[in-house]
Each structure stands twice: as C-alpha cells, then as structure tokens.
Amino acid sequence: MFPSGRRVCMGEQLAKMELFLTVTGLLQALRFWLPDGKPAPSLQGRFGLTLAPCPFAVCMNPVFLEVICSTMAFFTHRISRSFSSSAVRSVVIKNVMVIGGGQMGAGIAQVAASTGHSVTLVDMSEDILKKSVKGIEGSLKRVVKKKFADKPEAGEEFVQKILQNVSISTDPAAAVPSSDLVLEAIVENLKVKQDLFSRLDKLAPA
C-alpha cells in the first residue's frame, strides 16, 4: 500500500477537514472567553499516544444573534461608525427584521424567533410570506418530531409559541423604526442590496 514515500494515515486529510468544520462551527455558534484570572490555554500539549491538549478552563455562550450583529457591524457603515464592536455586543436586540423570506431568510427568522426575538419577516408579496411561514412551521414540526416524540401537545405548543414571534410585512420601511437589528437575505445582487439599505438607513433610528 505504501510503495514509496512517507507513510501517511489515509484518514489524515479527512480528519483535518472535520477539524476545520468543527472549529469553525463552534466559532460561529459560540462566543469564547477566559474566566477571570485564568491563564490562556497552553499551546504545548501533552505527548502520549496522541498529542493531547493540557486541561484548561474556558467560558462559552451561544450567541447566534451576537455573531450576526457583529457581522452586520462590519458590513454596515452606520453601525460600524456609531459603535465599537464591544458596544455592539451590549446592544439589546429584541425586534429583528429579516428581509427576504426565501431559504436563508426563513431560516434566520426561525432561529431568531426560536430564541425569543420578535421577528418581522419582509418579502415582496403576501403569498411568498405565507409560503415562508409555512416553511418555518414545517421545519419546526420536524424539530418537534425528534424533541417531543412522546409529548405531541407540548410539541404543538412549542411550534405555536415560536410562530407567535413571527409577523409578516411587505413594507420594510414601516417596520424599520422599531427594529433593533435588520438582516437582509434578498436576491444576490449588490446594487439591489445597497439600494435597500440606503432606503432603510434614512428611516432607521440613530
């Protein structure tokens, strides 16, 4: 199997890819920080059968919306001019507007509603929006099948509670003054995206 060259584990590349996906997944979903007074983890590791990390303490917090907020801060002049990134983190986000109710927008709206945020989902027509909400409902029902397999009533309550957090609108301008965070998931066209944000920027609170 190894006629020439260095012997390598055939799983090495796969393991590296898995490691990359695992770490980036964690970094996207969680915020990490050191507990007060604890040192940073050692980068030396411990040799044994494998090279293992030395024990270390770390705090983490699920911050889906915080990550989005920081990303938005990077991409929108308004936020990045007005706040430092640490100040952005401390902004309380209650009302979220998601523009575009397609695959991405519906998914974002679902996660935001599931985490207790009041979501206004915006698209071009009521019909599209009804389809989006149906899609969110279907997706939540799939979660219920796994999470509440033996408690169907609790499952229904779970779905309804989340759906109550989602309202729909075809007019982003009406919802923007009361929104703490605006996310777009519309058509992949920079000009259309820029036009949308320049219109909303005039209506958004300072």
Residue 181 C-beta: closest distance to ligand NAD, Å = 16
Residue 30 C-beta: closest distance to ligand NAD, Å = 20
CA distance 180 to 159: 24
Residue 200 Cα to chain centre, angstroms:
22
Helix, strand and coil content of the chain, in percent to the nearest 5, comes to 55, 15, 30
Q: Between 76 and 148, name the residue whose CB sits nearer to ligand NAD.
A: 76
Q: What is the DSSP letter of 176?
A: G
If we measure between CA atoms, which residue out of 131, 76, 109 comes closest to residue 185? 109
Q: Which stretch binds ligand NAD (CB under 6 A): 2-10, 66-74, 138-146, 184-192?
A: 184-192
Tell me, by CB under 6 A, how many residues bind ligand NAD. 17
Q: Letter for the amino acid at 164? A: Q
Contact pattern from residue 80 through residue 99 relative to ligand NAD, giving x for each residue in contact according to CB under 6 A and a dash for the rest: -------------------x
Q: Is 123 in the site for ligand NAD (CB under 6 A)?
A: yes
CA distance 196 to 184: 9
Q: Is the dihedral of CA 148, 150, 154, 160 positive or negative?
A: positive
Contact pattern from residue 37 through residue 76 relative to ligand NAD, giving x for each residue in contact according to CB under 6 A and a dash for the rest: ----------------------------------------
Work out the burial of residue 80: count CB atoms within 10 Å of its CB; fewer than 13 is exposed, 13-18 middle, 19 or more buried: middle
Q: Is 100 in the site for ligand NAD (CB under 6 A)?
A: yes
Binding ligand NAD by CB under 6 A: which of 73, 88, 97, 101? 101
Residue 43 C-beta: closest distance to ligand NAD, Å = 33
Which positions touch ligand NAD (CB under 6 A)? 99-105, 122-124, 128, 185-188, 192, 196
